[in-house]
Structure 1
Amino acid sequence: MPTITTADGTDIFYKDWGSGQPVVFSHGWPLSADDWDAQMMFFLGHGYRVVAHDRRGHGRSAQVADGHDMDHYADDLAAVVEHLDLHDAIHIGHSTGGGEVVHYLARHGEGRAAKASIISAVPPLMVQTEANPGGLPKSVFDDLQKQTATRRSAFYRELAAGPFYGFNRPGVEPDEAVILNWWRQAMMGGAKASYDGIVAFSQTDFTEDLKKITIPVLVIHGDDDQIVPYADAGPLSAKLLRNGTLKTHKGFPHGMITTQADVVNADLLAFIQS
């Protein structure tokens, strides 16, 4: 398996297919690069080089005990980009991966990047604070950690079968294969990485990161996102970005990159080619 070893000795698995302008994908919690299958195959077929890695502790990357925070996530992404010597890259992040992309661009600069897109993404800040009254109470994330630590397999199955893809909405037919693929990816990762990752995605404040970014960024969010609520995420991120564009999809769930892949792929292609 293709891997790189980071400065702190962590082995990171990555996929690197095709040639042409690179499109680099950062996945959400607690999944893996496999969550981008529909996008990687689509852009590969349109003549792009597609790259995706498994975040540390996730998928086929090393199940290390430490480093499950946004600084390490951004640094690991930078290590993959530098190892593959990518230039003029399009960075696309979903959910936690959207935070990873934003923090990477702010922390490591835009010298190797051309554009970015964040989809159903966690910025600017998920947890409720005095400065962020519209956020979710910390108790919500404490409960996610408790369930991850004590009943991870069942919890993951319930999350995928319910709010992640909107399969709990009236009239929506659950897709068992999609549910099982989510569960498979999530269970490949380590429990410690998943547990710590909840703090990373919920408590990191990306406000200043968003303000630093100057390249064009497409913000895509569904207004029926039950995981990262729309009102306190997509619109606020788009306003904080210097060159941000918001694309709102009515009724789309958090996991739209899978259940509405055709629409998302078309959005991304139009943005990249514009």
Structure 2
Amino acid sequence: MYFTTPTDGTTLAYEDYGTGTPIVFVAGWSLPSDMWERQVPFFLDHGYRCVLLDRRGHGRSDRPTSGYDTDTRADDLAGLIEHLDLRDVILVSHSGGGAEVVRYLARHGADRVQRVAMLAATVPFLLQTEDNPIGIPGELIEATLTDLKTDRARWFTDLSQSYFATHMGTRVTPATIDTEIRRSLSTSIVSTIEVQRETAHTDCRADLAALTVPVLLLHGVQDQQMPIDLTSRRTVEMTPNAVLKEYLDAGHGLYSSHAAQVNADILDFIKS
């Protein structure tokens, strides 16, 4: 299924399954909505409606030359929620999708949202600045973008083991790793680069402080892509009504490597 964004007429793909309270899944950077394949059947079985968005440049959505800034991507999410007239929404996001969710709430309010769950989210602020000395130096971010432009297949492959923290004995098969690499490579190169850059430069600190809905943060202590000290441990301190659950042996791809625990924790959060 598809809808047209009110901002610039981009056509975005989405999937819509089941009935009941809607859960809107927002994928991580470079990944299509297929990444949620271990969550959707679980929540359908528990009576929830599952709505999944392919952000612009990802999956089956259009690949425009612009609109990859966080504000526009947050507006795209708003466009989907309004297109389906969803109410009492539970937002579930991974990685860069977390910044989109937080910015959506800042720009569009929480009238349609009851709760938010963020996995390994890229908030509050990744870039090193004078008032954010713990952040990542800008030159390192630019070096990553250069690597992606040069050989992104190698870049994703080189990071695949740490992504799932296989050194901790997580039960992730080679087939699963290959699938996630292929999914990442299916994203347009322009979207891959621009969303990565924009996410690194998005400051969500004020947005988080203004949140009024309950927030669940799930994060792997072994996450090398988004270290927990830089992200969720800071986020929980500045966000009202937030709780953090740490997975001691999980990496960035906890939605897959720790799917059963992730699903159970989100379900408990929804029902609490």
The verdict on a shared fold, with TM-score over 0.5 as the criterion, is yes
Per-residue CA deviation, residues 197-222 of structure 1 (Å, 9 max, x unaligned), is 11111110000110111010111111
Task: Tell me if 1:87 matches 2:67.
Answer: no
Letter aligned with residue 78 of structure 2:
A
Letter aligned with residue 176 of structure 1:
P
Map residues 194-273 of structure 1 onto 2, 5 A cutoff.
194-273=192-271
Map residues 141-180 of structure 1 onto 2, 5 A cutoff.
141-160=141-160, 162-167=161-166, 169=167, 171=169, 175-180=173-178
CA-CA distance at 1:150 after TM superposition: 1.5
Letter aligned with residue 217 of structure 1:
V
Letter aligned with residue 13 of structure 2:
F
Q: What residue number does 1:120 align with?
A: 120
Per-residue CA deviation, residues 19-60 of structure 1 (Å, 9 max, x unaligned), is 000001111111010111111111011000001111101111
TM-score, with length taken from structure 2: 0.96
Letter aligned with residue 165 of structure 1:
F
Letter aligned with residue 257 of structure 1:
Y
TM-score, with length taken from structure 1: 0.95
SS in structure 2 opposite 1:23? strand
Q: Is the 8 A contact 1:13 1:53 kept in 2?
A: yes
**Could you tell me how far apart the structure 2 residues matched to 1:165 and 1:69 are?**
27
Q: Is the 8 A contact 1:59 1:186 kept in 2?
A: no
Structure 1 gap ranges (5+): none
Task: Tell me if 1:185 matches 2:195.
Answer: no
Q: Which runs of 4+ in 1 moved over 6 A?
A: none
Q: Is the 8 A contact 1:24 1:92 kept in 2?
A: yes
Q: What residue number does 2:132 align with?
A: 132
**Could you tell me how far apart the structure 2 residues matched to 1:205 and 1:154 are?**
29
CA-CA distance at 1:157 after TM superposition: 2.2
Per-residue CA deviation, residues 134-176 of structure 1 (Å, 9 max, x unaligned), is 222222221221121111222222222x221123x26556621
Per-residue CA deviation, residues 176-201 of structure 1 (Å, 9 max, x unaligned), is 11111112211221000001111111
Q: What residue number does 1:12 align with?
A: 12
SS in structure 2 opposite 1:38? coil
Letter aligned with residue 202 of structure 2:
T
Deviates more, 1:122-131 or 1:75-84: 122-131
Deviates more, 1:137-146 or 1:198-207: 137-146
SS in structure 2 opposite 1:90? strand
Q: Is the 8 A contact 1:125 1:203 kept in 2?
A: yes
Letter aligned with residue 222 of structure 2:
D
Aligned pairs, number: 271
Per-residue CA deviation, residues 79-123 of structure 1 (Å, 9 max, x unaligned), is 000011100000011100111111111111000000001110000
Q: Is the 8 A contact 2:217 2:245 kept in 1?
A: yes
SS in structure 1 opposite 2:24? strand
Structure 2 gap ranges (5+): none
Letter aligned with residue 210 of structure 1:
L
Q: What residue number does 1:41 align with?
A: 41
